[in-house]
């Protein structure tokens, strides 16, 4: 805590920068365009050949030598490479230059479900096949979970609070909540925050498949991720990163920064019910929604759109639809799950979808839920955006996330004033 005055804890924060590395493309524009077009990204994955589920959503054409340099390309885990790439885009988008900012007043908060699991698996395989002398001395600096945050801070010369969050598939959204708290406490003036994960690995894919969590549509991967559809049979594993730059609105106004959206509120809860299954009545998600609306100073009737967690698993989608029906009743907001396009990027999902929600209110355009064909009794009362992106006046929009361990997060965004 510095000597600077604390910010108003009820004041919305400004989203001044967005950076995305997703299966829909490298960069915010590429991702937004494909998500709005509703074109799925899932495809057969040669690296998963012979495994129970041989398809995934990969980031297309990602060459780490281009994005983080030749030296860092072999020193950093894939998830850290994604995180740094997205963070640099977000900072540039915000009109900021790390060469001239006061790094002591810049925070970095990065969330990840599994950290450098790509490095962990590859080095463990080396150990078993060729012995200890083949294991890289860079193994630990590459796979420790906090390294995405630490290496991003090094890349940006950010010397304020640098933290890692781990709430499974809600990790990226949790990182944004922590960043908002740091700004509102006056612990920093700029927060670079989001999530990154690269869990499309043989062990992770096999483990999810053994749980029955993944779609089994190997014959038609592009149609496999079907959020809220009656024929959904599991999620498609994905990778990527989403990073936002948050600032206090007064600071953003002072430097005449571009503002994509206002980060208006948030809620965070835990089911305290089961390690992997959501609470049958959606107790935790409901409370997280209520808390997000309270911190945004809004009621359910003011919500115009929701970017849902919508994994395409039978249980999660039914639980989430039930909670939304119960809370919003006779005036349901429009709902989208962008996982129909991107698949499920694990710990990066929450921040990627937060970025897409900020863009939704900025552009006043709600992306469609790809691959949705017909509802079932559990999802039929949702006002899903399907087919084409839907342009309509949008005030308050929410982004929901959930993760193993019972974690629930809800983020609220408004258009810039």
Residue 375: phi and psi, rounded to 5, are -80, 165
Alpha helix positions (H), 189-254: 202-211, 249-254
CA-CA distance, 393 to 259, in Å (whole number)? 18
Q: Mark whether 344 is an active-site residue.
A: yes
The two tokens of residue 344 are: 């499920």
Cα dist. 176→190, 263, 266 in Å?
12, 9, 9
**Which residues lie closer than 8 Å to 259 by C-beta, 6 or more apart?**
14, 15, 16, 249, 252, 416
Of 36, 57, 79, 169, the active-site residue reads 169
Q: Mark whether 169 is an active-site residue.
A: yes
Of 67, 260, 279, 344, the active-site residue reads 344
Handedness of CA 38, 312, 349, 45 (dihedral sign): negative
Using an 8 Å Cβ cutoff, are 21 and 240 in contact? yes
Alpha helix positions (H), 167-313: 171-184, 202-211, 249-254, 283-295
Q: Mark whether 309 is an active-site residue.
A: yes
Of 164, 279, 309, 407, the active-site residue reads 309
Q: What's 182's DSSP letter?
A: H
H or E element that contains 72? helix 70-75
Longest dimension (CA), the chain: 65
Using an 8 Å Cβ cutoff, are 36 and 367 in contact? yes
CA-CA distance, 42 to 385, in Å (whole number)? 20
Per 3-state DSSP, the chain is made up of helix, strand and coil in percentages (nearest 5) of: 40, 20, 40
Enumerate the active-site residues: 169, 309, 344
């Amino acid at each position: 805590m510095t000597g600077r005055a604390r910010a108003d804890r009820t004041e919305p924060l400004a989203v001044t920068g967005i950076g995305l590395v997703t299966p829909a493309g490298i960069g915010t524009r590429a991702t937004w365009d494909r998500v709005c077009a509703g074109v799925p990204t899932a495809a057969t994955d040669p690296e998963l050949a012979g495994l129970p589920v041989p398809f995934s959503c990969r980031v297309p054409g990602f060459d780490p030598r281009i994005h983080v340099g030749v030296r860092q390309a072999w020193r950093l885990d894939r998830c850290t490479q994604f995180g740094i790439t997205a963070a640099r885009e977000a900072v540039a988008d915000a009109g900021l230059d790390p060469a001239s900012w006061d790094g002591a007043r810049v925070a970095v908060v990065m969330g990840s479900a599994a950290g450098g699991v790509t490095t962990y698996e590859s080095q463990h395989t080396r150990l078993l096949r060729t012995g200890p002398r083949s294991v890289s001395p860079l193994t630990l600096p590459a796979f420790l979970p906090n390294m995405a945050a630490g290496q991003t801070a090094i890349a940006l010369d950010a010397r304020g609070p640098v933290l890692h969050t781990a709430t499974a598939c809600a990790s990226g959204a949790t990182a944004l909540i922590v960043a908002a708290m740091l700004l509102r406490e006056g612990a920093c003036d700029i927060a670079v925050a989001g999530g990154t994960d690269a869990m499309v690995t043989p062990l992770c894919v096999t483990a999810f498949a053994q749980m029955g969590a993944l779609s089994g549509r190997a014959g038609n991967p592009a149609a496999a991720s079907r959020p809220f559809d009656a024929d959904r049979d599991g999620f498609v594993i994905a990778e990527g990163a989403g990073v936002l730059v948050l600032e206090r609105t007064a600071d953003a106004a002072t430097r005449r920064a571009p503002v994509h959206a206002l980060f208006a509120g948030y809620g965070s809860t835990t089911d305290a019910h089961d390690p992997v299954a959501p609470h049958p009545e959606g107790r935790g998600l409901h409370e997280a929604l209520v808390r997000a609306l309270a911190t945004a100073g809004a009621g359910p009737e003011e919500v115009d759109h929701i970017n849902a967690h919508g994994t395409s698993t039978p249980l999660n989608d039914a639980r989430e639809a039930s909670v939304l029906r119960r809370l919003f009743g006779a005036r349901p907001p429009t709902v989208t799950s962008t996982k129909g396009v991107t698949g499920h990027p694990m710990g990066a999902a929450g921040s990627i979808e937060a970025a897409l929600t900020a863009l939704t209110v900025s552009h006043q355009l709600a992306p469609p839920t790809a691959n949705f064909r017909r509802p079932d009794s559990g999802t039929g009362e949702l006002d899903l955006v399907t087919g084409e992106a839907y342009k309509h006046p949008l005030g308050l929009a929410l982004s929901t996330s959930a993760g193993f361990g019972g974690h629930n997060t809800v983020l609220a965004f408004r258009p810039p004033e």
